[in-house]
Structure 1
Amino acid sequence: MPKLSSDTLWEQAAAEVRHRESGAGQEAGEEAGEEAGGETLSERSVFLMGSKSGGKTSILLRCLDRDEPSKPTLALEYTFGRRARGHSTPKDIAHLWELGGGTSLSDLVQIPITPANIRSFSVILVLDLSKPNSLWGTMEKLLQAAQAQLDKVYSQAQQAEKTKAGAKHQPSVHPATRVLPKDYPDRELISPFPVPLLIIGSKYDIFQEFDSDKRKVVSKTLRFVAHYYAASLIFTSIKLESLMSKTKSFFSHLAFGVDRGKTVCCDSTKPLVIPEGSDSFSQIGSPPAADVDITSLHAKNPKDLWKKVYERVFPQESTGEQRELKDPAKDPQYSVPQIDAMRAQKDQELDQYKRNAAKSWKGLELET
């Protein structure tokens, strides 16, 4: 990444544009956090998505140590975080995107996922544990949308690399392939998500009051999903400081490359804390299907089997949420008095025009 001599956001943006135009964008693939003489600036991108009203904004604000009230996310919002490594070194920057609306705006994933940032990109999926009947559908649709865009961007980047290096050039890594250590548990049986993935189960304070059998189904299912995608998994609540502290360490690991600690908890009677590579299919066991005949489910693969068992216990509600009908222009949180007054005036003029036009048409009909 280019060296930035100022903390001013506009100068950072200008430097980034010059960097991309110089053709160095492809070289930005060096792992974020790599230093040259302790002076190189690290920039990473983190994309948050998940359950509607699942607490994404609140979790993000807490992870950034921002003491401000959370507001409903309007479509797709951007912010950034900075972290200094030392007194004399530049601050690392995390570009943070948050998708609102649950699954209804999943097509917006194409905005934050681009060839320019793909090699320093990670995803956080926030799932509302208090609403298990929409959990699988939300998870499935959002991960599919993100993975499709990641595959597309990887292909574009590789095509550009081929063109640049010549027709005989062969890419070293196939699109959407994340290289895992050779000793990664169940390495041959899983399907790693293309970029680092963190799954956060939110509202644990409500979830912990659920029946123990239902908690076990949700916990084991999310353990399976997280391990299948080579993702990290943590349960949290903004009302429980000890859990938020662990969540912040996982977030900082993705955003700034900070060590996330070595805490591991796979006990379904407690909040789960499972870094990627710390679980295995043998430890997770089979789907908790005491009242379900697994042989009758006709599953195509292990993931499909877990889905069918989970949906037997928690019949899924439709996640095809309608887009918000509420007009953002009338939302008090986006109020701008001068613009609102002009908008009201134009609305009145439009209504008057419609009434006059209706009278004119009625007059023409009578004459006819």
Structure 2
Amino acid sequence: MPKAGDALWDIALAEVEKRESPDGGGKRVEVWEKSVLFVGSKNGGKTTIILRCLEREEIPKPTLALEYTFGRRARRHNAPKDIAHFWELGGGTSLQELIRIPITSNNIRSFAVVLVLDLSKPNELWTTMENLLQAIRDHVNKILAKLEKTNPEVATEIKQRMRNSLQKDHPDYELVDPFPIPLVIIGSKYDIFHEFDSEMRKTVSKTLRFISHYYGASLVFTSKSEALQLKARVLINHLAFGYERSKSVSVDHSKPLFIPAGLDSLSQIGPPPTSDSDIGKMRANTPLEVWKKVFEKTFPPKSFYDLQATKDPGQDSQYAEHEVDVMRAQKKQVCCCSVALQSAIPETQALPK
């Protein structure tokens, strides 16, 4: 109850604190603030997934470089709204050096990654996954190395948290290599993928199950279907807003996969889809390398450089600005005239001695 003589600002501040308290008693509630970076296949549907997660009815536009948006949600009635920062890296693998911008030592404890892989392009799948995850892992490891010197408790906490993606009594606890920060892998365009040959689908599905389990990640297949989009949102909302973690599992390769982190196993996934004799001939140092060789035997990969191709931002119509474009055209014309003039002037002959 405001007292006589209280300043208006004091009254307003007391009201805000009251609203932010779950019991109205004035006890302040900590606001949840997380960051999520979306990376993956070019034109794989990252923007659409973000918009659906934030319940925004917008027409998705191509992402050219690194874009940012945010969402706010309240975990319960009359509670303060939590904040989630969403970063999206465009261009597939061509702009992976921009990864270092959103992931910093200040937010590493509350950061997560969503990797979107286009199921309709299996020949690009492994190269895209490998290069993006390696770039993120290298950057995160550099941050952790610095934290070990400046704040070793935080570095230890982050490493231990990811080891806990599997229970210590899980039979695969010592056989996996968890990603250094929380990871969700989304297989997009399942509606197209579903039309593939059943053996091809099985190879892709088993491989992604192994990758996800090996990295301690969650896995979900999605498409334009509202039901599948909802499953992807469940996993993302768990990362971004702390919503309850789903415990449902779908591992049938003839259906869309849905496997939260830690709920799969190597015994259930089974061996790579090839003969034991072929596996014995492969030169591989880790299980991940074995799966890579088997997968790429079925789906010969596109080169990393082919996947890096991206168009000139200055020619993209979605970023057109009349005044800027006019100035650029004038500058280009002046440069062309200067080059033409220089080429028209004959070279100066050497003076006789």
Q: Answer whether TM exceeds 0.5 for this pair.
A: yes
Question: Aligned partners of 1:242 and 1:185: how far apart in 2?
Answer: 32
Change (3 A) 1:351 1:322: farther
Q: Bigger shift: 216-225 or 282-291?
A: 282-291
Equivalent residue for 2:81? Answer: 91
Candidates 214, 218, 222, aligned match of 1:232: 218
Show CA shifts across 1:242-281 (max 9, x none).
1001111111111111124332100000000000111001
Equivalent residue for 1:245? Answer: 230
Cα deviation for residue 367 of structure 1 reads 10
Show CA shifts across 1:175-233 (max 9, x none).
74523132345111111111110000011000000111111111111111111111100
Candidates 258, 261, 264, aligned match of 1:279: 264
Is the Cα–Cα contact under 8 Å of residues 151 and 175 in structure 1 kept in the other structure?
no
For 1:99-110, list aligned pairs within 5 A: 99-110=89-100
Q: Bigger shift: 349-358 or 310-319?
A: 349-358
For 1:17-96, list aligned pairs within 5 A: 37=27, 39-86=29-76, 88-96=78-86
Secondary structure of 2:213's counterpart equals: helix
Change (3 A) 1:206 1:366: farther
Flag structure 2 segments of 5+ consecutive residues without an equivalent.
1-25
Q: Bigger shift: 297-306 or 280-289?
A: 297-306
Whether 1:346 and 2:336 are equivalent positions in the alignment is: no
Change (3 A) 1:211 1:291: farther
Structure 1 counterpart of 2:183, which letter? L
For 1:299-314, list aligned pairs within 5 A: 299-314=284-299
Candidates 192, 196, 200, aligned match of 1:210: 196
Equivalent residue for 2:101? Answer: 111
Is the Cα–Cα contact under 8 Å of residues 94 and 310 in structure 2 kept in the other structure?
no
TM-score (norm 2): 0.85
For 1:182-201, list aligned pairs within 5 A: 182-201=168-187
Question: Aligned partners of 2:154 and 2:59: how far apart in 1?
Answer: 46
Flag structure 1 segments of 5+ consecutive residues without an equivalent.
1-35, 163-169
Candidates 156, 174, 178, aligned match of 1:173: 156
Cα deviation for residue 76 of structure 1 reads 1.5
RMSD: 2.4
Structure 2 counterpart of 1:268, which letter? H
Structure 2 counterpart of 1:255, which letter? A
Secondary structure of 1:94's counterpart equals: strand
Equivalent residue for 1:259? Answer: 244
Equivalent residue for 1:268? Answer: 253
Question: Aligned partners of 1:96 and 1:110: how far apart in 2?
Answer: 15
Show CA shifts across 1:27-68 (max 9, x none).
xxxxxxxxx946322110101111122111121111111211
Equivalent residue for 2:346? Answer: 362
Change (3 A) 1:363 1:179: closer
Candidates 119, 129, 132, aligned match of 1:139: 129
Show CA shifts across 1:3-33 (max 9, x none).
xxxxxxxxxxxxxxxxxxxxxxxxxxxxxxx
Secondary structure of 2:172's counterpart equals: coil
Candidates 311, 314, 318, aligned match of 1:329: 314
TM-score (norm 1): 0.82
Matched residue count = 324
Is the Cα–Cα contact under 8 Å of residues 55 and 202 in structure 1 kept in the other structure?
yes
Whether 1:294 and 2:284 are equivalent positions in the alignment is: no
Is the Cα–Cα contact under 8 Å of residues 185 and 279 in structure 1 kept in the other structure?
no
Structure 1 counterpart of 2:236, which letter? F
